[in-house]
Chain A
Amino acid sequence: MFWKYSIKRVLNGIIIFVILIFIYSILFNAQLERTIYSQIDEQVNGELHNLNTSRMTPEAIENWILQRRETLYKSYNLDKTSFERIVMRAYNTITFNFGKSTIIKSNSGKRDVRSIVFEAIPRTLLLFVTAMLIDVFLGILLGIKKAQKPGSVLDKSTSIGTMIVYGMPSWWLGMLMIMMFVYALGIFPSGGLHSTPVPQGEFAKFVDLLWHLTLPVITLVILGFWGRAYLTRNIVLSTLQEDYIMAARARGIKERRVLYSHGLRSAAPPLVTMSLLALLASVGGNIIFEGIFSWPGMGNLYWVAVQQNDIPVLMANLAVTTGLYQLGLVILDLTYGLLDPRIKVGGKA
Chain B
Amino acid sequence: MKLSNIKDSIKNFWKEFRQVKSGIIGLILFLIFLFAVVFEPLIISFKETNNVWRDITYWEDLPRNVPPAWTNLFTSRKSAESMEIDDPEITEQQNGNLRILTSEFTYDYQSYNPPQDIIFRADGTGSPMIIIEIVRPDDEKITLFQKPVNLGSGNDVRVSMDSNSKDAVYNFLSKKVPRSELQKINKNLLAPTDYLFSVASEDFIKNREPLNGIYKIKVTSIMQNEDANISDPYIVLPGSVYGLLGTDSYKRDLWSGVVAGVKWALLIGLLTAVVSVSIGVLYGVISAYLGGWKDSLMMRIFEVFVSTPLLPVLIVLAAVFKPSIWTLIFMMCAFFWTGSVKTVRSMALQIKEETFIEASKAAGASNLRIIFKHMVPLLIPYSFASMALFIPGAIVYEASISLLGLGDATIVTWGQILSDAYNSGAILSGIWWWVVPPGLCIALMGMAFAFIGFAADKILHPKLRTR
A residues contacting B by CB (< 8 A) are 12-13, 16-17, 19-20, 23, 27-28, 31, 150-151, 155, 159-160, 162-169, 171-173, 175-176, 178-179, 182-184, 190, 234, 237-238, 241, 280, 283-288, 291-292, 302-303, 305-307, 309, 311, 314-315, 317-318, 321-322, 325-326, 329, 348-349
The reply to whether B428 and A284 contact each other, CB–CB distance below 8 Å, is no
Is B196 part of the binding interface, using a Cβ–Cβ cutoff of 8 Å? Answer: no
- Which residue on chain B has the smallest CB distance to residue A324? B309
Which B residues from 287 to 302 make CB contacts under 8 A with A? 296, 299
15 contacts between A and B (CB under 8 A): A23-B304, A155-B466, A159-B454, A166-B389, A166-B447, A168-B442, A172-B442, A172-B443, A179-B427, A179-B430, A234-B464, A285-B393, A302-B315, A303-B404, A325-B309
The reply to whether B308 and A20 contact each other, CB–CB distance below 8 Å, is yes
Is B450 part of the binding interface, using a Cβ–Cβ cutoff of 8 Å? Answer: yes
Main SS class of interface, A: helix
Contacting residue for A175 out of B422, B451, B464, CB 8 A: B422
Contacting residue for B427 out of A167, A178, A302, A325, CB 8 A: A178
Given the complex of chains A and B, what is the CA–CA distance between A95 and B396 in angstroms? 34
Given the complex of chains A and B, what is the CA–CA distance between A171 and B312 in angstroms? 15
Is B242 part of the binding interface, using a Cβ–Cβ cutoff of 8 Å? Answer: no
Shortest distance in angstroms between A24's beta carbon and chain B's nearest beta carbon?
8
Which residues of chain B are within 8 angstroms of A167 by Cβ–Cβ distance? 391-393, 395-396, 442-443, 445-447, 449-450
The reply to whether B406 and A306 contact each other, CB–CB distance below 8 Å, is yes
Which residues of chain A are within 8 angstroms of B446 by Cβ–Cβ distance? 166-168
Which residues of chain B are within 8 angstroms of A184 by Cβ–Cβ distance? 430
Known: A163-B454, A166-B447, A326-B307. A150 touches B406 (CB 8 A): no
The reply to whether A163 and B451 contact each other, CB–CB distance below 8 Å, is yes
Which residues of chain B are within 8 angstroms of A315 by Cβ–Cβ distance? 316
Give 11 A-B pairs besides A168-B439, A321-B312 with Cβ atoms closer than 8 angstroms: A23-B304, A27-B320, A151-B467, A163-B26, A163-B451, A169-B442, A172-B443, A175-B422, A285-B397, A288-B311, A302-B312
The reply to whether A171 and B403 contact each other, CB–CB distance below 8 Å, is yes
Known: A164-B443, A172-B442. A321 touches B309 (CB 8 A): yes
Which residues of chain A are within 8 angstroms of B32 by Cβ–Cβ distance? none
Which residues of chain B are within 8 angstroms of A288 by Cβ–Cβ distance? 311, 315, 400, 403-404
Is B432 part of the binding interface, using a Cβ–Cβ cutoff of 8 Å? Answer: yes
- A to B contact number (C-beta, < 8 Å): 166
Which residues of chain A are within 8 angstroms of B316 by Cβ–Cβ distance? 28, 314-315, 318
Shortest distance in angstroms between A243's beta carbon and chain B's nearest beta carbon?
14
- Which residue on chain B has the smallest CB distance to residue A172? B439
Given the complex of chains A and B, what is the CA–CA distance between A311 and B318 in angstroms? 12
Given the complex of chains A and B, what is the CA–CA distance between A302 and B320 in angstroms? 13
The reply to whether A241 and B463 contact each other, CB–CB distance below 8 Å, is yes
The reply to whether B463 and A183 contact each other, CB–CB distance below 8 Å, is no
B430-467 CB mask vs A (1 if < 8 Å, else 0) is 10100110010011011101110010000000011011
Is B303 part of the binding interface, using a Cβ–Cβ cutoff of 8 Å? Answer: yes
The reply to whether A318 and B312 contact each other, CB–CB distance below 8 Å, is yes
Known: A167-B445, A167-B446. A322 touches B308 (CB 8 A): yes
Q: How many residues of B contact A (CB 8 A)?
A: 55
Shortest distance in angstroms between B302's beta carbon and chain A's nearest beta carbon?
10
Contacting residue for A16 out of B304, B310, B320, CB 8 A: B304
Given the complex of chains A and B, what is the CA–CA distance between A315 and B312 in angstroms? 10
Is B381 part of the binding interface, using a Cβ–Cβ cutoff of 8 Å? Answer: no
- Which residue on chain A has the smallest CB distance to residue B342? A349
Which residues of chain A are within 8 angstroms of B319 by Cβ–Cβ distance? 305-306, 309, 311, 314
Given the complex of chains A and B, what is the CA–CA distance between A312 and B302 in angstroms? 28
Instruction: From B307, B317, B392, B395, name the one whose CB has the most chain A CB atoms within 10 angstroms.
Output: B307
Given the complex of chains A and B, what is the CA–CA distance between A163 and B457 in angstroms? 13
Which residues of chain A are within 8 angstroms of B466 by Cβ–Cβ distance? 150-151, 155
Which residues of chain A are within 8 angstroms of B310 by Cβ–Cβ distance? 284-285
Given the complex of chains A and B, what is the CA–CA distance between A132 and B135 in angstroms? 65
Is B22 part of the binding interface, using a Cβ–Cβ cutoff of 8 Å? Answer: yes
Is B313 part of the binding interface, using a Cβ–Cβ cutoff of 8 Å? Answer: yes
Contacting residue for B428 out of A31, A173, A178, A311, CB 8 A: A178
Shortest distance in angstroms between B369's beta carbon and chain A's nearest beta carbon?
29
The reply to whether B400 and A28 contact each other, CB–CB distance below 8 Å, is no
Given the complex of chains A and B, what is the CA–CA distance between A179 and B442 in angstroms? 18
Is B418 part of the binding interface, using a Cβ–Cβ cutoff of 8 Å? Answer: yes
Given the complex of chains A and B, what is the CA–CA distance between A168 and B404 in angstroms? 17
Known: A20-B304, A302-B404, A306-B404. A28 touches B320 (CB 8 A): yes
Which residues of chain A are within 8 angstroms of B258 by Cβ–Cβ distance? none
Which residues of chain B are within 8 angstroms of A237 by Cβ–Cβ distance? 464
Which residues of chain A are within 8 angstroms of B449 by Cβ–Cβ distance? 166-167
Known: A20-B307, A179-B427. A169 touches B315 (CB 8 A): no
